[in-house]
Amino acid sequence: MYPHERSLVEEMKDKPFALIGVNSDKEIARAKKAIADNNLNWRSFHAGPKATRGPIPTAWAVKGWPTVVVLDAEMKIHYRGHDGEEATKVAKDLVAKMTAGK
């Protein structure tokens, strides 16, 4: 997923778009190493020391990783699932609708 997400952030950087992570590694150091090694370019919440069982994944009933949720400008859910490509398509369509005619 890393290269895909990285280029998505790159491609959308001047658009009304934000890729926000919820990192579910136990150790923040592990996440930071992944960020450094792979030049990851998005901001993440940390799910806390309970990692995949931490408060954010629990509140969002996330049980499979990666899970992607796509929200519109009003934070309404348009996609939730495990298919990064489908999520990307949904997000790009939403952005296209927002920027149409501008």
Applying CB under 8 A, does 50 fall inside the site for other proteins? no
Smallest gap, in angstroms, from Cβ of residue 102 to other proteins?
A: 14
**Which residue, chain included where needed, has tokens 């590694």?**
25
Amino acid symbol at 48 = G
Helix, coil or strand: residue 43? strand
Applying CB under 8 A, does 59 fall inside the site for other proteins? yes
Q: Residue 99's CB: how many other CB atoms inside 10 A?
A: 12
CA distances from 16 to 6, 33, 60 (A): 16, 28, 24
Applying CB under 8 A, among 49, 50, 63, 89 the residue interacting with other proteins is 63
Applying CB under 8 A, does 28 fall inside the site for other proteins? yes
Applying CB under 8 A, does 17 fall inside the site for other proteins? yes
- The end-to-end CA distance of the chain, in Å, is 31
Applying CB under 8 A, does 75 fall inside the site for other proteins? yes
**Which stretches of the chain bind other proteins, using CB under 8 A?**
1, 5, 8, 15-25, 28, 30-35, 42-46, 51-52, 56-63, 65-80, 87-88, 91, 94-95, 98
